[in-house]
Amino acid sequence: MNEEKIPSTDPVSADAGARAEAPATTEKPSRRESISRPLPDDALIIVPVRNVVLFPGMVFPLTVGRERSRAAAQEAVRLQRPLGVLLQSKPEVEEPGPDDLHWVGTTATVLRYITAPDGSHHAICKGMKRFRILQFLEGFPFAVARVQLIDDPEAVDADIEGRAHSLKERAIEILQLLPQVPEEMVAALQAVEGPARLADFIAGLMDIGPEEKQALLETFDLKTRLDKLLELLTHRIEVLKVSREIDARTRESIDDTNRKHLLREQMRTIQKELGEGDEGAAEIAELEKAIAEAKMPEEVEKHARKELKRLERMPEAAGEYSMVRTYLEWLIELPWAAEAEAPIDIAEARRILDEDHYGLEKIKRRILEYLAVRKLNPSGKSPILCFVGPPGVGKTSLGQSIARATGRKFARVSLGGVHDEAEIRGHRRTYIGALPGNIIQNLRKVGTRNCVMMLDEVDKLGAGGFHGDPASALLEVLDPEQNSTFRDNYLAVPFDLSSVMFICTGNVLDTIPGPLRDRMEIIQLPGYTAQEKLQIARRYLVPRQLAATGLSADRCEITDEALRTIIDDYTREAGVRNLEREIGNVFRNVAVRIAEGSTARVTIGPDDLPAILGARKFEAEVAMRSAVPGVATGLAWTPVGGDILFVESARMPGAGKLILTGQLGEVMKESAQAALSLVKARSRDLGIAPDLLEKSDIHIHVPAGATPKDGPSAGVAMFVSLASLLTGRPVRSDVAMTGEISLRGLVLPIGGVKEKVLAALRAGIATVMLPARNQRDLDEIPADAREKLKLVWVEQVDQALATALSPVAAPAAMPAA
């Protein structure tokens, strides 16, 4: 090499004169000197490059495109002198002068000079040493400068050694993180000798911009340079790791199934290699173990083992394989074991029932009797309880309480709309996608046979048809004579249901299939009075909703008056579900106000409700609607408790026709006709003009029009409505009535007295007219209702008129005062 001719920072300098002339300085000297050829010994031919920083030790094919650079490279080759490679600080400049170049670069030996077939010139350079420009010389066809060589220290201390060591480790780590790195790369890195070479080697490889590389080149102090590199590498590793993780995660989600398949294949190959049995042997072994532990009855276990044998012989790829495996999993996971039933503590059960439910005395007593019998005779065939009543009266929650009181788990099966026997009893395994029925499914879910299983909505069980009769399947489930060997179509082996405690619920009795009803003990929950609702709200719903909204009782209070207003004016229901919802609405509103900090403590009174819940929903309905002659308030029994209903009549010019609308059933239509006949017969007594009826059509409508209605019990209301219309005397708005009528004007008894009376109370009625012959049902009516309502027992329709019609004839279509 010819580098010796060039001055160096190393203690030894070849040319002291040059040094004296141009002292080493990091500042760019501005003075230029013009010299003539030949090239002085201590000068270096400079090649400016764009975008590449050559580091000592690095071999790099330099493309020399520019005329001056070609001349420079060729002259260097001819003179066997090194080149000085400098990065342009302004890459865009075509003929860079001293100000367009960085003043620190690397000397390079040109290993080969190639002219490619396409005419381009390349100099394969090897980086040798750092240098710094001292002075550019003029008068050459290319850049020439006097420079100072920068040597790296020869002696290496522990500080540097340590840094170099971790630098190498990190570099290897990076290479391993990068995809598609040739293996030789790691070997090359391992082979680099000395910290300075290592640093330059890595710096040359780094994926950073030329300016950053230049900065590394200009960092003469080795320790600082190593530190900078370490920092860069560490950061790079983090980035690579994160991106690889993301990459892996994406790939995983895309072909997780493929991967699993691949892994399974590999596992099998490995197992084969190890001589650990053939395909799927591990899986078979696992299933075998699970069968042994499942505590199946002998017969079932034998059957399961037979299936397992079949599975063993099947190729795993066969579609049937997974079907048989799924089947075995079902068998394995069912709660076959008969656990000892926890003894029932009747006193504790009583306490739990009281804790969960207000009132319902008769019902709780009946439940306790039922539990007592079970306790005394656990193996006896106890009847199935069936709770019947309107929504929200606590049927489901009573079932949950029974589970709690007996220490059993609770499962719920909804039978509403079940048309297909298979939903209860399962599909045969020959069906594609066959599964057990919902009884067995729920047993697997709760994991024990000693559970309370609530069969909800037995009254909405679909009728039997093409797909078999679900009711008869249910019979088999509930019948104590048969259910110890219940056979689900899918399982095809008997399962003992006798220790399951079944409880049914429904809203109405009539639609429960007869044979089912016969097997059950019906317990009716008719609904609550306003007084009972207030107690339930106070004791259960308010604390529960407070807790649900995260409020405490000392921050939010609701007065009894407010609760009563919600009960009377914002809900109309037999149960308490809407009541609970409205209470929840109130508390959420308060919670927002407290959370916003606009208040710390709130007491809700009735006057606060409209702002939160909106206008009262049911308040003035009766008074408003019955203000005109022709509207009477009747009482109806519905599956969801009682309700009030309006009978509206109107008269128009015509020829004595009777028009009936509102989806009335046959029986109801007949009572309308009977009512009209009764009014006609009394027209003289009532003071109705004799020809009025002949010249009119009468229209009777019972809203809501979309709800079908039937039954004879609206007879009295129809009669009163017509009498009111034709006499122009409005019906008193606080009177409601029920009763069938005979053509002779007798009032006949009706059913559902309790529900109807409660509905009247809810609607704000003061007087209820009932058939005299229903007095036998007086006991049924809650004391609370009896106190608040005036009950009028009528035998004759004429009595009804006396109570119901306002005494003074008001002009038609004018509101009564």
Ligand X SMILES: Nc1ncnc2c1ncn2[C@@H]1O[C@H](COP(=O)(O)OP(=O)(O)OP(=O)(O)O)[C@@H](O)[C@H]1O
Judged by beta carbon distances under 5 to 8 A according to partner kind, the member of Mg ion, ligand X, none in contact with residue 359 is ligand X
Cβ-contact 352, 405 below 8 angstroms: yes
Site string for ligand X, 574-603 (x = CB under 6 A): -xxx--x-----------------------
Q: Which does 577 bind (CB under 5 to 8 A by kind): Mg ion, ligand X, none?
A: ligand X
Tallying the residues shown for the chain, one arrives at 817
392 binds, among Mg ion, ligand X, none (CB under 5 to 8 A by kind): ligand X
State residue 319 phi and psi, 5-degree precision: -60, -30
**CB of residue 405 to ligand X, shortest distance in Å:** 15
Name the binder of 486 from ligand X, Mg ion, none, CB < 5-8 A by kind: none
Question: Between vectors from CA 591 to CA 534 and to CA 574, what angle results, nearest 5°?
Answer: 25
| Residue 359 lies near ligand X (rule: CB under 6 A) | yes
* Position 410 contacts ligand X (CB under 6 A): no
Using the minimum distance from each CB to Mg ion, give the nearer residue, 396 or 796: 396
> What is the phi/psi pair of residue 791, to 5°?
-100, 125
Q: Three-state SS across 404-452? A: HHCCCEEEEEECCCCCCHHHHHCCCCCCCCCCCCHHHHHHHHHCCCCEE
- Contact residue for ligand X among 268, 395, 651, 729 (CB under 6 A): 395
Which of ligand X, Mg ion, none interacts with 135 (beta carbon under 5 to 8 A by kind)? none
Residue of closest CB approach to Mg ion: 396
Of 713, 724, 733, 806, the active-site residue reads: 713
* C-beta of 574 vs 676, nearer to ligand X: 574
Least Cβ distance, residue 297 to ligand X (angstroms) = 35
Q: From the list 393, 453, 566, 679, which residue makes contact with ligand X (rule: CB under 6 A)?
A: 393
Residue 60's binding partner out of Mg ion, ligand X, none, with CB under 5 to 8 Å set by partner kind? none
Work out which of 115, 190, 269, 397 binds ligand X, going by CB under 6 A: 397
Q: Coil, strand or helix: which one is 26?
A: coil
Min separation Cβ 394 and Mg ion, Å = 8
Q: How far is CA 20 from CA 7, 15, 24, 169, in A?
A: 11, 9, 9, 43
Write down the residue that tokens 């609904």 correspond to.
527
CB atoms within 10 A of CB 167: 22
- Decide whether 120 or 397 has the Cβ nearer to ligand X: 397
Q: Minimum Å distance from CB 397 to ligand X? A: 3
* Smaller CB separation from ligand X, 349 or 747: 349
Residue 82, binding choice from Mg ion, ligand X, none, Cβ under 5 to 8 Å by partner class: none
Residue 358 found at the interface with ligand X (CB under 6 A): yes
Residue of 143, 145, 446, 536 interacting with ligand X (CB under 6 A): 536
Q: Give the nearest distance from C-beta 351 to ligand X in angstroms.
A: 15
Of the pair 152, 643, the CB lying nearest ligand X is at 643
- Contact residue for ligand X among 324, 360, 435, 678 (CB under 6 A): 360
How far is residue 76 from each of residues 2, 65, 103, 202, 414, measured CA to CA in Å? Answer: 11, 16, 20, 28, 94
Considering CB distances under 5 to 8 angstroms, the limit depending on partner class, which of ligand X, Mg ion, none binds residue 507?
ligand X
- Partner from ligand X, Mg ion, none contacting 358, C-beta within 5 to 8 A by type: ligand X
> Residue 396 Cβ, how far from ligand X at the closest point, in Å?
3
Binding of Mg ion at residue 13 (CB under 5 A)? no
Q: Say if CB 716 and CB 741 are below 8 A apart.
A: yes
Residue (396 or 498) nearer to Mg ion, CB: 396
Least Å distance, CB 401 to ligand X, is 9
**Pick from ligand X, Mg ion, none: which does 280 bind, CB < 5 to 8 A by kind?**
none
Binding region for ligand X (CB under 6 A) out of 45-53, 272-280, 393-401, 676-684: 393-401
Active site residue 713: yes
**Does 507 interact with ligand X (rule: CB under 6 A)?**
yes
Whether 468 contacts 516, CB under 8 Å: no
Closest by alpha carbon to 108, among 26, 200, 184, 212?
A: 200
- Closest residue to ligand X, judged by C-beta, is 394
Selected binder of ligand X within 66, 132, 357, 533 (CB under 6 A): 357
396 forms part of the interface with Mg ion (CB under 5 A) = yes
Q: Does 88 bind Mg ion (CB under 5 A)?
A: no
Residue 426 or 575: which CB sits closer to ligand X? 575
Q: Which long-range contacts (CB under 8 A, 24 or more apart) does 460-467 make?
A: 460/415, 460/416, 460/417, 460/506, 460/507, 460/511, 461/415, 461/416, 461/418, 461/512, 461/513, 462/417, 462/418, 462/419, 462/420, 463/419, 464/421, 465/419, 467/419, 467/420, 467/421, 467/422
CA distance 517 to 642: 23
What minimum distance in Å lies between the beta carbon of 696 and ligand X? 45
Count of chain residues binding ligand X (CB under 6 A): 18
Cβ closest to Mg ion, residue 396 vs residue 578:
396
540 touching ligand X, by CB under 6 A: yes
Structure tokens at 52: 């590449």
When binding is defined by CB under 6 A, the residue of 7, 394, 641, 642 that contacts ligand X is 394
Which sign, positive or negative, has the C-alpha torsion 520, 526, 532, 534? Answer: positive
Task: Answer yes or no whether residue 163 interacts with ligand X by CB under 6 A.
Answer: no
How near is the Cβ of 391 to ligand X at its closest, in Å? 3
- Rounded CA-CA distance 779/793 in Å is 15
Reduce the DSSP state of residue 371 to 3 states and report it. helix
Provide, rounded to whole angstroms, the least separation between the CB of residue 457 and ligand X.
8
Nearer to ligand X, 156 or 548 (CB): 548
Angle (nearest 5°) at CA 570 between 567 and 574: 50
Binding segment for ligand X (CB under 6 A), chosen from 118-126, 260-268, 573-581, 713-721, is 573-581
Active-site choice (129, 364, 756, 806): 756
Helices (H), 178-209: 183-191, 195-205
Answer positive or negative: Cα dihedral of 540, 544, 547, 549.
negative
Binding span for ligand X by CB under 6 A among 267-275, 392-400, 624-632, 684-692: 392-400
Structure tokens at 212: 């950053």
Query: Which candidate, 615, 618, 530, 635, places its Cα nearest to that of 571?
Result: 618
Please report whether residue 400 would count as binding Mg ion according to CB under 5 A: no
3-state secondary structure at position 375: helix
Q: Which residues touch 659 (CB under 8 Å, ≥6 apart)?
A: 697, 698, 699, 700
Closer residue to ligand X in complex, CB, 127/399 = 399
**Strand 83-87 versus strand 59-64 pairing type:** unpaired
Q: What three-state secondary structure class fits 814?
A: coil
Rank residues 417 and 815 by Cβ distance to ligand X and give the closer one.
Answer: 417
Picking from 620, 707, 714, the residue whose alpha carbon sits closest to that of residue 675 is 714
Two structure tokens written together for 710: 């039937």
Quick one: which segment of 165-173, 246-254, 393-401, 538-546 binds Mg ion (CB under 5 A)? Answer: 393-401
Number of other residues whose CB lies within 10 A of the CB of residue 504: 30
Nearer to Mg ion, 457 or 734 (CB): 457
Q: How far is the CB of 394 from ligand X (least distance, A)?
A: 3
The whole-angstrom separation of Cα 394 and Cα 577 is 9
Q: Closest approach of Cβ 505 to Mg ion, in Å? A: 6
Helix, strand, or coil (residue 104)? strand
Decide whether 343 or 416 has the Cβ nearer to Mg ion. 416
- Contacting positions for ligand X (CB under 6 A): 357-360, 391-397, 507, 536, 540, 575-577, 580
- Contacting positions for Mg ion (CB under 5 A): 396
Catalytic center residues: 713, 756
